[in-house]
Structure 1
Amino acid sequence: MEGGHRLVVDAAADGTRLDRFLAGRLPGLSRSRLHALIEEGRVRVDGTVRKPSARVRAGQVVTVELPPAPPAPALVPEPLPLDVVYEDGDLLVVNKPPGLAVHPGPGHPRGTLANALLARVPELAALDPERPGIVHRLDKDTSGLLVVAKTPEALRALQGQVRARTMRRTYLVLVHGQPPPAGTIDAPIARDPRHRRRMAVVPSGRAAVTRYRVRERFAGAALVEATLLTGRTHQLRVHFKHLGHPVVGDPVYGRRGPAWGMTRQALHAWRLRLRHPRTGTALALEAPLPDDLARALETLRRAQAAAGTVGVPGARGGAAGA
């Protein structure tokens, strides 16, 4: 149905509370949001408004009316500093610092990368009023390279590279424990049915593939180079948790234990390989490690040297590649 959902109760859900039935069928809506919709009379069972505790029966039709979302506030240009790695008339690549949200949202209505981009390139407002030219996403507390298109033609071409999986995005990730030396994580991802604000490996989820190799090992941790072959929400964080080696410092998917000074997920979009959207020229860009991750690695290396152990043979040191 337009502006909502029409759900038929199957035999497996017979006798389930209405609120629990909706929570299982509409994982994108929080329980508090579903309760509000029921209380507002926007949920009907066979055309009748019911209470959250009402039991649904097989064959009944549950309709959910979703009110139109309020219009997003207009982006305001803000002259925030940007670390520009590459720029020409078609595209811009920035090295995003940790803690900077890509676009406005709850808790950060201003001071985002999108605001800064509009101040630098006002023409981006014509591409997308909410995500001006932004080709792909980075979580607020993930650092590193992010691509921005400056023209409609560049935006289409770059988005096409993302869909075709020809744009290669490689991250440096500090994970707990000792993962196998290299591998491919092929595990579908969807919203976690138990925790709707998280993602999880779910058999019925969207295909998600990550290729990785260990660059350096420490006592209790490893520095991993990971390349996205797909681009699902929180893909690397979910995949390494699934592997049993969650990202150090991750407040959502991590675990208790030493974080070596990291107060956010130790995840950095380090290398980017793509084709120029107009000329087709190959571009290969890298961003140096942010200070917090560089300090964490130095702490681990010092501890390892003091213990008289060694890392992966041939692994490089240094700020950009660690």
Structure 2
Amino acid sequence: MTTEHTAVQQNDDDLFEHHAFTVDKGQAPLRIDKYLMNRIENATRNKIQTAAKEGSIYVNDAQVKQNYKVKPLDKIRVLFEHPPYEYLLTPEDIPLDIVYEDDDLLVINKAAGMVVHPGHGNYSGTLINALVFHFENLPNNSSERPGLVHRIDKDTSGLLVVAKTEHAMTHLSKQFFNKTSEREYVAIVWGNMEEDEGRIEGHIGRHPKNRLQNTV
């Protein structure tokens, strides 16, 4: 399986890693610009070729050009001089609907339409931008996102728990990981439902043809 991650790590040359992939064992030879087009959201071939010409694409720690053909188990990294935009957190004076707060945590009612954390195409106006404006020294989670213990989708409204201390971050994250906390979702559905109630089971993953969608 191809693996991917993004990070704000600097190497010795003061470059920041934006994308990293390990090529599948069964990968047939393929130009790296085509390979990366299929794996980076909204990346155009022109942008990838420009990055290669500027020396930003590395395979097994060596710079490569756009016509390099990837091989099984190649380690591909895309490095730039600036951090990924989703990590450049700018405080923004956005009102928060806080329904509960104490010294350790707060519970926020997130409105539909608000993105929880910055990501591709959403670098401002997010809940995180509002949190870093209203609260100082929020603890970072494992993805360097201040206070965030869990998330809900942009178009979903509902309650989000935010950690205010390292102690709260550790214990709340453990509860969500171990599924000892309970969450309830309410949704409006339409269509001809054969049953009044039931259970749906399945693993949600990235849609194989559209990386902006998930599927079961």
Q: Is this a same-fold pair by TM over 0.5?
A: yes
TM-score, normalised to structure 1, is 0.48
| Aligned positions of 1:1-322 closer than 5 A | 4-7=20-23, 10=26, 14=28, 17-18=30-31, 22=35, 28-30=39-41, 32=43, 36-37=47-48, 40=52, 42=57, 49=65, 51=67, 62-68=74-80, 70-71=82-83, 72-78=87-93, 80-124=94-138, 126-127=139-140, 131-179=145-193, 180-201=195-216
Greater strand content: 1
- How high is the sequence identity, in percent, across the aligned residues? 33
The one-letter amino acid of 1:84's match is I
TM-score, normalised to structure 2, is 0.68
1:250-305 deviation line (CA, Å, top 9, x unaligned): xxxxxxxxxxxxxxxxxxxxxxxxxxxxxxxxxxxxxxxxxxxxxxxxxxxxxxxx
1:111-154 deviation line (CA, Å, top 9, x unaligned): 33223323332232x54695321211122221111111111101
Structure 1 segments of 4+ aligned residues over 4 angstroms from their partners? 33-36, 47-50, 59-63
**Contact 1:95-1:146 within 8 A present in 2 as well:** yes
Greater helix content: 1
The one-letter amino acid of 2:215's match is A
* SS at structure 1 position matched to 2:189: strand
* Root-mean-square deviation over aligned CA pairs: 3.7
Q: Distance in 2 between matches of 1:69 and 1:199?
A: 32
The alignment covers a number of residue pairs equal to: 189
* SS at structure 2 position matched to 1:162: helix
**Cα 1:167–1:69 shift into 2, 3 Å:** farther
The one-letter amino acid of 1:67's match is L
Q: Distance in 2 between matches of 1:33 and 1:95?
A: 37
1:152-208 deviation line (CA, Å, top 9, x unaligned): 10111111110111111111101121332222222112211111121122xxxxxxx
Bigger Rg over Cα: 1
**Cα 1:121–1:21 shift into 2, 3 Å:** closer
**Cα 1:184–1:76 shift into 2, 3 Å:** same
**Cα 1:6–1:147 shift into 2, 3 Å:** closer
Alpha-carbon distance, 1:74 to partner: 3.4
